[in-house]
Structure 1
Amino acid sequence: MADFSGLLARCERTAFKLEMRDQYMTGDPGYLAWEAGDLGRAVQLYSDWTATARSAVNRGVTMRRVRIVSEPVSAYIIFEHAVTPGVNLAAGEEIRWLPRRLASDLLLPGNDVWIFDDQLVQFCHFAGDGSWVANDENDSPAVVKQCADAFAAAWDRAADHREYHV
């Protein structure tokens, strides 16, 4: 996460995230706490993220995230939806949800991606089981534009967190 934190610290205007997986790191302590029935503990375990994101938002960075999800949703997506108010929204992020069936005609990148200031993308690579593998950055104007266009198209179709129910 250090490389992401550095990218976010240098970000001046926008940090947009496109998430497209139905499961991420299910061994993560926050997920395990939620799975054990302790939503409060799960949210608390993400306090570093909340502080990092809030710091960026307080500097004037607009943070938006679209989660493209299969329906019916997975247990992991139910977890993400449950912690979003106390983690992401509390930090000032804007979160939207897009059912995968409504994204079929969108041209999307092959991996989750962060888009910083429409100048740099960070692709997030995960294994089939949702475990994190690596991140890599790309500042090619063509690649950044493709990812930014994909994010914008998904954002326009997605429902605000408060309107999307799992």
Structure 2
Amino acid sequence: MSSLKYLVGYPEPVLEQVRALIAAGKLEAHLRERYGEAHAVRNDRALYDYTVEMKNRWMRTAPPLAKVAYDNHLHVVQQALGTHTSVSRVQGGRLKASREIRIATVFRDAPAEFLRMIVVHELAHLKHREHDKAFYQLCTHMAGDYHQLEFDTRLYLTQLSLAGQG
């Protein structure tokens, strides 16, 4: 079923439960009941402050962030919910790295927990480039319910896709 493109790799019994929610027209209500309304992080400055506050709480020794912004050009269809980049520039005789995080604009209207999951994910990339065991350990350290939030974010994206918004 192409409507479950965000849930590829999950076990068939889980996918059957999701299909049953979709068939009954209850997926949106399930997510709304569990996560409520959107967050208040509406602009790039608020997103930067939110992300830096989380970075300072969980990753004090990580390098500073130069920019954090919502990005209209990130297409969730290509599995990019957010990106992290490190741009190196030569300044005088030194090499300086500037780190940026960009979050897909679809998360501007998402529940707060989903934005938190995306920010945690991108912050973890400051320390671990690959999605390996250490990466996911850091994610669950910053957000104990990370794996559940990741799954529910995928459900949210599935709902948006079914509604023609994703």
Shorter-chain TM-score tier: under 0.3
More strand by share: 1
More helix by share: 2
Q: Which has the larger radius of gyration?
A: 2
**TM superposition score normalised by structure 1:** 0.22
